[in-house]
């Protein structure tokens, strides 16, 4: 059995974003019940043995731990049920939370060599003591069983595989093709329970749906998928940015090339948008965009959701 907690469901900056005064953020700050606040995207997954693995570590991780009793200390003066963290890329909203876990608590960090090299190059991450927190590299397309810091395996398997995307903004090389992006810069995760064969996919960043990816997701019980923007030019039209969703490495939800259209006919049992930008009107319970997404069989993630497979 797998238990999945949505710790955070928003894109970088959260909802409301600290410096954004768009309509949605104003409504969220005012306490409008149709504009529920959200922290930055992260999941936690457990195989039922009391240990949890973080799927990305957002800057809001401290708040997310406090808000989820399953992640609270239980045994002794110092304890955490967090056994490991798995990183899908080196984006700030997916790695900065590691700094919250710096108080000499053992756990393991899993990521591609590319992401580990970014962490190693930034001395601030040394506060997460590698003598207590082993950094374990994973290869793409090779399933592995994660383990805690002591090497005790967890009861599920994870496979990382590359999906279309882009290198983290702060690592872009404007002189290089694709800004210097390589396959390991944007990965999806397939998580499979070793006892029941329950499985789900976590894909918080993806810029296209090639045929091979559609085939891989076909018939899946649960997919949590990149829901950053509703339209590709959303931030430009809203006056909150100068880049399209594609330029940032994300598919729009709507339109003929959007993710709603791309999932049609894939027979995914449960489809949930996650990593949703503060400008995306689908965040609002009473918006026509929310109604359109739900009418197409999608759910919009919110903090605190829990699933069992």
281-305 pLDDT, tens digit per residue, is 999 999 999 999 999 999 999 999 9
Non-local (6+) Cβ contacts of 191 within 8 A are 2, 45, 55, 156, 157, 158, 199, 200, 201, 202
* CA–CA distance, 206 with 303 (Å, rounded to integer): 21
Backbone region of residue 140 per phi and psi (left: phi > 0; alpha: psi in -120 to 50; beta: other values): beta
The half-sphere exposure of 21 on its side-chain side, counting CA atoms within 13 A, is 0
Give pTM, 2 decimals.
Answer: 0.95
The per-residue pLDDT for 182 is: 60
The per-residue pLDDT for 171 is: 63
pLDDT band at residue 241 under the 50/70/90 scheme: confident
Q: Is 3 exposed, middle or buried (0-12, 13-18, 19+ CB in 10 A)?
A: middle
The per-residue pLDDT for 101 is: 96
The kind and range of the H/E element at 233 are none
Mean pLDDT of 70-78: 93
For strand 135-137 and strand 108-111, is the pairing parallel, antiparallel, or unpaired? parallel
Residue 24 Cα to chain centre, angstroms: 21
> How does DSSP classify residue 185?
G
Q: What are phi and psi of 283, to 5 degrees?
A: -65, -25
């Amino acid at each position: 059995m797998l238990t999945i907690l949505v710790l955070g469901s928003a894109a970088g900056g959260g909802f409301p974003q600290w410096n954004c005064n768009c309509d949605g953020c104003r409504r969220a700050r005012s306490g409008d019940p149709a504009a529920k606040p959200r922290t930055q995207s992260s999941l936690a997954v457990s195989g039922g043995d009391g240990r949890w693995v973080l799927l990305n570590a957002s800057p809001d991780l401290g708040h997310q731990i406090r808000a989820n009793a399953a992640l609270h200390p239980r045994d002794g003066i110092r304890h955490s049920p967090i056994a490991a963290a798995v990183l899908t890329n080196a984006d700030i909203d997916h790695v900065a939370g590691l700094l919250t876990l710096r108080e000499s608590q053992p756990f393991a960090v899993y990521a591609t060599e590319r992401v580990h090299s970014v962490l190693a190059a930034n001395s601030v991450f040394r506060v997460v003591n590698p003598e207590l927190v082993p950094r374990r590299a994973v290869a793409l397309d090779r399933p592995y069983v994660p383990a805690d810091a002591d090497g005790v395996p967890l009861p599920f398997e994870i496979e990382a595989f590359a999906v279309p995307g882009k290198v983290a903004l702060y690592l872009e090389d404007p002189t290089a093709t694709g800004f210097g992006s390589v396959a390991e810069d944007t990965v999806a995760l397939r998580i499979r329970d070793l006892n029941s064969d329950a499985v789900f996919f976590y894909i918080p960043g993806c810029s296209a749906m090639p045929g091979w990816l559609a085939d891989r997701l076909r018939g899946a019980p649960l997919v949590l998928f990149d829901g950053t923007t509703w339209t590709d030019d959303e931030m430009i039209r809203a006056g909150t940015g100068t880049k399209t969703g594609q330029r940032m490495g994300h598919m729009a939800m709507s339109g003929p090339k959007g993710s709603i259209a791309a999932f049609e006919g894939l027979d995914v049992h449960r489809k949930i948008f996650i990593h949703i930008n503060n400008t995306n009107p689908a965040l609002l319970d009473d918006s026509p965009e929310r109604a359109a997404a739900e009418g197409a069989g999608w759910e919009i993630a919110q903090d605190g959701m829990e699933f069992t497979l």
